Amino acid sequence: MLEGKARGGKGREWERNRGDASRFFSEGRCLSKRIFDVCLSGFGLVVSSPLWLLIAVAIKLEDRGPVFYAQERVGKGGRVFKVYKFRSMIPDAERHTGAVWALESDPRVTRVGRVLRATAMDELPQLWSIVKGDMSFVGPRPERPQLLEEFTREIPRFVERFQVRPGLTGVAQVYGKYDTPPSNKLKYDLFYIKNRSFFLDLQLIFFSFLITFMGKWEDRGKPQMLRKWRRVLRGSKD
Protein backbone atom coordinates (compact mmCIF):
# COMPACT_ATOMS: atom_id res chain seq x y z
CA MET A 1 0.00 0.00 0.00
CA LEU A 2 2.71 2.43 1.03
CA GLU A 3 4.75 1.45 -1.99
CA GLY A 4 1.74 2.11 -4.23
CA LYS A 5 1.24 5.51 -2.65
CA ALA A 6 4.91 6.31 -3.09
CA ARG A 7 4.76 5.35 -6.73
CA GLY A 8 1.60 7.39 -7.16
CA GLY A 9 3.27 10.39 -5.53
CA LYS A 10 6.29 10.07 -7.76
CA GLY A 11 4.03 9.70 -10.76
CA ARG A 12 2.13 12.87 -9.94
CA GLU A 13 5.39 14.70 -9.30
CA TRP A 14 6.73 13.52 -12.66
CA GLU A 15 3.55 14.75 -14.37
CA ARG A 16 3.92 18.15 -12.70
CA ASN A 17 7.56 18.39 -13.74
CA ARG A 18 6.68 17.40 -17.27
CA GLY A 19 3.95 20.06 -17.33
CA ASP A 20 6.39 22.68 -16.04
CA ALA A 21 8.96 21.69 -18.66
CA SER A 22 6.32 21.84 -21.40
CA ARG A 23 5.22 25.31 -20.32
CA PHE A 24 8.84 26.45 -20.13
CA PHE A 25 9.49 25.13 -23.64
CA SER A 26 6.32 26.79 -24.95
CA GLU A 27 7.19 30.13 -23.36
CA GLY A 28 10.74 29.90 -24.70
CA ARG A 29 9.46 29.18 -28.21
CA CYS A 30 7.09 32.17 -28.02
CA LEU A 31 9.92 34.42 -26.83
CA SER A 32 12.30 33.30 -29.58
CA LYS A 33 9.55 33.75 -32.19
CA ARG A 34 8.88 37.26 -30.85
CA ILE A 35 12.56 38.21 -30.99
CA PHE A 36 12.78 36.86 -34.54
CA ASP A 37 9.64 38.83 -35.52
CA VAL A 38 10.96 42.12 -34.15
CA CYS A 39 14.40 41.73 -35.75
CA LEU A 40 13.09 40.70 -39.17
CA SER A 41 10.30 43.28 -39.31
CA GLY A 42 12.64 46.04 -38.09
CA PHE A 43 15.12 45.09 -40.78
CA GLY A 44 12.29 45.04 -43.33
CA LEU A 45 11.16 48.54 -42.35
CA VAL A 46 14.65 49.93 -42.81
CA VAL A 47 15.32 48.18 -46.14
CA SER A 48 11.90 48.97 -47.62
CA SER A 49 11.79 52.62 -46.50
CA PRO A 50 12.78 54.01 -49.96
CA LEU A 51 9.87 52.08 -51.51
CA TRP A 52 7.36 53.74 -49.20
CA LEU A 53 7.93 57.13 -50.83
CA LEU A 54 7.72 55.70 -54.36
CA ILE A 55 4.51 53.80 -53.57
CA ALA A 56 2.93 56.86 -51.93
CA VAL A 57 3.73 59.02 -54.97
CA ALA A 58 2.35 56.40 -57.38
CA ILE A 59 -0.92 56.10 -55.44
CA LYS A 60 -1.35 59.89 -55.29
CA LEU A 61 -0.61 60.36 -58.98
CA GLU A 62 -3.21 57.79 -60.04
CA ASP A 63 -6.33 59.16 -58.32
CA ARG A 64 -5.19 61.67 -55.66
CA GLY A 65 -6.84 59.52 -52.99
CA PRO A 66 -5.43 58.59 -49.57
CA VAL A 67 -2.17 56.63 -49.50
CA PHE A 68 -3.03 54.36 -46.58
CA TYR A 69 -6.05 52.25 -45.80
CA ALA A 70 -6.89 51.33 -42.20
CA GLN A 71 -9.07 48.46 -41.00
CA GLU A 72 -9.92 46.87 -37.68
CA ARG A 73 -8.81 43.25 -37.38
CA VAL A 74 -9.09 40.59 -34.69
CA GLY A 75 -5.89 39.15 -33.25
CA LYS A 76 -4.74 36.71 -30.60
CA GLY A 77 -7.29 36.13 -27.87
CA GLY A 78 -9.95 38.01 -29.83
CA ARG A 79 -8.28 41.39 -29.28
CA VAL A 80 -9.21 44.02 -31.88
CA PHE A 81 -6.43 46.14 -33.35
CA LYS A 82 -6.01 48.46 -36.31
CA VAL A 83 -3.99 47.37 -39.33
CA TYR A 84 -2.66 49.68 -42.07
CA LYS A 85 -2.01 48.90 -45.74
CA PHE A 86 -1.10 50.87 -48.82
CA ARG A 87 -4.42 51.52 -50.55
CA SER A 88 -4.82 49.22 -53.55
CA MET A 89 -8.52 49.85 -54.29
CA ILE A 90 -10.54 52.86 -55.30
CA PRO A 91 -11.39 55.26 -52.45
CA ASP A 92 -14.44 54.17 -50.39
CA ALA A 93 -14.43 50.79 -52.13
CA GLU A 94 -16.97 49.34 -49.68
CA ARG A 95 -19.30 52.32 -49.57
CA HIS A 96 -22.09 50.45 -51.37
CA THR A 97 -21.30 46.86 -50.37
CA GLY A 98 -20.16 46.97 -46.76
CA ALA A 99 -17.48 44.56 -45.53
CA VAL A 100 -16.86 41.91 -48.20
CA TRP A 101 -13.96 39.66 -49.14
CA ALA A 102 -11.72 40.76 -51.99
CA LEU A 103 -12.07 38.70 -55.15
CA GLU A 104 -9.26 37.27 -57.28
CA SER A 105 -9.93 39.74 -60.12
CA ASP A 106 -11.63 42.45 -58.09
CA PRO A 107 -12.78 45.36 -60.32
CA ARG A 108 -12.25 47.80 -57.44
CA VAL A 109 -8.46 47.34 -57.57
CA THR A 110 -6.57 50.24 -59.16
CA ARG A 111 -3.74 49.92 -61.70
CA VAL A 112 -1.14 50.71 -59.05
CA GLY A 113 -3.02 48.39 -56.71
CA ARG A 114 -2.60 45.45 -59.09
CA VAL A 115 1.16 45.84 -58.94
CA LEU A 116 1.11 46.25 -55.17
CA ARG A 117 -1.02 43.15 -54.70
CA ALA A 118 1.01 41.02 -57.13
CA THR A 119 4.18 41.83 -55.15
CA ALA A 120 2.51 42.11 -51.70
CA MET A 121 3.93 45.63 -51.38
CA ASP A 122 0.55 46.83 -50.12
CA GLU A 123 1.28 44.83 -46.94
CA LEU A 124 4.50 46.70 -46.07
CA PRO A 125 2.89 48.93 -43.38
CA GLN A 126 1.98 45.76 -41.48
CA LEU A 127 5.65 45.38 -40.59
CA TRP A 128 4.93 48.05 -37.98
CA SER A 129 2.05 45.91 -36.64
CA ILE A 130 4.59 43.12 -36.14
CA VAL A 131 6.98 45.42 -34.27
CA LYS A 132 4.12 46.55 -32.03
CA GLY A 133 3.20 42.94 -31.23
CA ASP A 134 -0.25 42.96 -32.84
CA MET A 135 0.93 40.49 -35.47
CA SER A 136 3.63 37.94 -36.16
CA PHE A 137 5.53 37.30 -39.37
CA VAL A 138 3.86 33.89 -39.71
CA GLY A 139 0.37 32.97 -38.60
CA PRO A 140 -3.28 33.01 -39.70
CA ARG A 141 -4.45 36.17 -41.45
CA PRO A 142 -6.31 38.51 -39.09
CA GLU A 143 -10.00 38.73 -39.96
CA ARG A 144 -12.31 41.72 -39.79
CA PRO A 145 -14.79 41.86 -36.87
CA GLN A 146 -17.74 42.28 -39.25
CA LEU A 147 -16.91 39.02 -41.07
CA LEU A 148 -15.80 37.18 -37.96
CA GLU A 149 -19.28 36.96 -36.45
CA GLU A 150 -20.51 35.09 -39.52
CA PHE A 151 -17.47 32.78 -39.70
CA THR A 152 -17.54 31.78 -36.02
CA ARG A 153 -21.26 31.07 -36.25
CA GLU A 154 -21.10 28.96 -39.41
CA ILE A 155 -17.64 27.35 -39.31
CA PRO A 156 -16.81 24.97 -36.43
CA ARG A 157 -13.43 25.50 -34.70
CA PHE A 158 -12.91 28.91 -36.33
CA VAL A 159 -12.19 30.48 -32.93
CA GLU A 160 -9.14 28.20 -32.58
CA ARG A 161 -7.29 30.61 -34.88
CA PHE A 162 -7.09 33.04 -31.95
CA GLN A 163 -4.61 30.80 -30.10
CA VAL A 164 -1.71 32.49 -31.89
CA ARG A 165 -0.87 35.94 -33.21
CA PRO A 166 -2.13 36.58 -36.74
CA GLY A 167 0.56 36.65 -39.40
CA LEU A 168 1.71 38.60 -42.40
CA THR A 169 2.19 35.29 -44.16
CA GLY A 170 1.28 31.70 -43.39
CA VAL A 171 0.13 28.39 -44.82
CA ALA A 172 -3.26 29.78 -45.94
CA GLN A 173 -1.65 32.90 -47.41
CA VAL A 174 0.90 30.91 -49.44
CA TYR A 175 -1.23 27.96 -50.56
CA GLY A 176 -4.63 29.63 -50.71
CA LYS A 177 -6.07 32.28 -53.02
CA TYR A 178 -8.03 35.49 -52.50
CA ASP A 179 -11.31 33.65 -53.03
CA THR A 180 -10.46 30.44 -51.15
CA PRO A 181 -13.49 29.71 -48.90
CA PRO A 182 -12.94 30.53 -45.19
CA SER A 183 -13.62 26.90 -44.23
CA ASN A 184 -10.75 25.75 -46.46
CA LYS A 185 -8.42 28.47 -45.18
CA LEU A 186 -9.23 27.31 -41.66
CA LYS A 187 -7.78 23.87 -42.49
CA TYR A 188 -4.50 25.53 -43.46
CA ASP A 189 -4.55 27.66 -40.28
CA LEU A 190 -5.23 24.69 -37.99
CA PHE A 191 -2.43 22.75 -39.69
CA TYR A 192 -0.04 25.61 -38.91
CA ILE A 193 -1.21 25.94 -35.29
CA LYS A 194 -0.73 22.21 -34.70
CA ASN A 195 2.64 21.94 -36.47
CA ARG A 196 4.15 25.39 -35.94
CA SER A 197 7.89 25.49 -35.53
CA PHE A 198 10.80 27.76 -36.33
CA PHE A 199 11.69 25.61 -39.35
CA LEU A 200 8.13 25.79 -40.71
CA ASP A 201 8.18 29.58 -40.26
CA LEU A 202 11.41 29.80 -42.24
CA GLN A 203 9.92 27.68 -45.04
CA LEU A 204 6.83 29.89 -45.29
CA ILE A 205 8.88 33.09 -45.20
CA PHE A 206 11.12 31.69 -47.96
CA PHE A 207 8.10 30.87 -50.12
CA SER A 208 6.63 34.32 -49.43
CA PHE A 209 9.79 36.12 -50.54
CA LEU A 210 9.94 33.86 -53.59
CA ILE A 211 6.38 34.76 -54.60
CA THR A 212 7.09 38.45 -53.99
CA PHE A 213 10.22 38.47 -56.17
CA MET A 214 8.31 36.62 -58.91
CA GLY A 215 5.36 39.04 -58.60
CA LYS A 216 2.98 36.09 -58.41
CA TRP A 217 0.86 36.72 -55.31
CA GLU A 218 -2.19 36.95 -57.58
CA ASP A 219 -1.41 33.42 -58.86
CA ARG A 220 -0.60 31.76 -55.56
CA GLY A 221 -2.49 28.56 -54.84
CA LYS A 222 -2.83 27.72 -58.52
CA PRO A 223 -1.51 24.28 -59.63
CA GLN A 224 1.00 25.76 -62.08
CA MET A 225 2.49 27.93 -59.32
CA LEU A 226 2.80 24.99 -56.95
CA ARG A 227 4.65 22.99 -59.63
CA LYS A 228 6.97 25.93 -60.24
CA TRP A 229 7.83 26.20 -56.52
CA ARG A 230 8.69 22.49 -56.44
CA ARG A 231 11.05 22.94 -59.41
CA VAL A 232 12.72 25.89 -57.70
CA LEU A 233 13.18 23.88 -54.51
CA ARG A 234 14.66 20.92 -56.40
CA GLY A 235 17.04 23.28 -58.17
CA SER A 236 18.16 24.79 -54.87
CA LYS A 237 19.04 21.33 -53.56
CA ASP A 238 21.20 20.40 -56.57
- Residue 9 in any domain: the answer is no
Q: What is the pTM of this model?
A: 0.76
- Whether the pLDDT of residue 132 is over 60: the answer is yes
Q: Could you give the number of structural domains in the chain?
A: 1
- Residue 134 in any domain: the answer is yes
- Residue 193 in any domain: the answer is yes
- Whether the pLDDT of residue 137 is over 50: the answer is yes
- Residue 30 in any domain: the answer is no
Which of the four pLDDT bands, split at 50, 70 and 90, describes residue 20?
very low
Q: Give residue 100's domain range.
A: 36-237
Which of the four pLDDT bands, split at 50, 70 and 90, describes residue 12?
low
- Residue 18 in any domain: the answer is no
Which of the four pLDDT bands, split at 50, 70 and 90, describes residue 17?
very low
- Residue 14 in any domain: the answer is no
- Residue 81 in any domain: the answer is yes
Bridge-based pairing of strands 68-74 and 167-169 is unpaired
- Residue 158 in any domain: the answer is yes
